[in-house]
Structure 1
Amino acid sequence: MPWMVETYDKPGCADLRIQLRPAHLAFLEANKSLLLACGAKLDDAGELASGGVYLLDLESRKDAQAFIEQDPFFQGGLFERVFVTQWRKAYLNGLNTLNED
């Protein structure tokens, strides 16, 4: 079941994001089988991240919440807010997934 996790960084935490990023990327790599997609939300210049979006293939909200709480960004105190929402996968990579058998 797909879940979307949207995160918002605390203001003024760009240095903390940079510090935690290697551990965050290692966490994502170790859990890549659960990721439908994942990435940072960037400013218009594509330079500053202010949070992220995770599309996860997990069974429950509890599992999605547990996943994000294991992320080094979460554990390191980077996030100001985290939203977990069930997500309906309609199109992925330009393909309609609603008519899958």
Structure 2
Amino acid sequence: MQYFVYGRDRAGAGELKASLTPEHWAFMDGYADTLIARGPTLTPDGESTTGSLHIVDLPTLEAAQSFAYDETYYRAGVFDDVLLCRFTNHTPGTMWDFTSAAAGLNRYLVHTDDAPRPLSSPQIILYGDLSALDTDQHLGRAVLLESPDPESAAALAQADVSQVHPWTFGGRR
């Protein structure tokens, strides 16, 4: 089963997070074969992180909870909160399979709480529906995409611009 794990940084935790990045990557290396997407969300200027996104394929809810809550950043108090939910992937493969990268475009995570709807564009890296861990209750969508700016990203994902977060590929495969 696939899971969406999004830790949003606590204010003022940037230095702590930076100091723990090697440990975080070592933790993630243990999940290398299960990662579908990963990477930090960023401030609009791209200079600082605002969160850490992972989409991972794990066999059980308990394994997903361990992934989310045994992770280095979480244990050290870097995150203000962590969103953990099921992810239904509507694109084949992983972010590393994305072959339509275009020069001059930025990458974004669009995280909405709206109804499911099909999306189609060569600029979409990955997208899927989010649902509750223990029911089929729909919680929204997550879209990873390339776009010239947040407004264009919102239009492509059929979302409000306030739901758009600068994002980039992270870690190592």
Relative to the length of structure 1, the TM-score reads 0.85
Moved over 2 A (4+): 59-62, 92-96
Asked if the contact 1:61/1:84 (under 8 Å) is kept, the reply is no
What is the match of residue 2 of structure 1? 2
Structure with bigger RCO (C-alpha 8 Å, 6+ apart): 1
RMSD of aligned Cα (Å)? 1.8
Structural mapping, 1:1-101, within 5 Å? 1-92=1-92, 93=98
**Residue-by-residue CA offset, 1:9-61 (whole Å, 9 max, x unaligned):** 11111101111111001111222112111111111111110111110101233
Q: Secondary structure at the match of 2:89?
A: coil
Task: Please say which structure displays the higher CA radius of gyration.
Answer: 2
CA–CA distance in structure 1, aligned partners of residues 60 and 29 of structure 2: 21
Relative to the length of structure 2, the TM-score reads 0.51
CA–CA distance in structure 2, aligned partners of residues 91 and 46 of structure 1: 26
Identify which range, 30-39 or 7-16, moves more after superposition. Answer: 30-39
Asked if the contact 2:7/2:53 (under 8 Å) is kept, the reply is yes
- Segments of structure 1 that go 5 or more residues without pairing to the other structure are 97-101
Aligned residues: 96
CA–CA distance in structure 1, aligned partners of residues 72 and 82 of structure 2: 14
Asked if the contact 2:68/2:84 (under 8 Å) is kept, the reply is no
CA–CA distance in structure 2, aligned partners of residues 89 and 62 of structure 1: 20
CA–CA distance in structure 1, aligned partners of residues 4 and 57 of structure 2: 9
Q: Percent identity?
A: 26
Q: Which has the higher helix share?
A: 1
> Which amino acid letter does the alignment assign opposite residue 43 of structure 2?
D
> Which amino acid letter does the alignment assign opposite residue 69 of structure 1?
Y
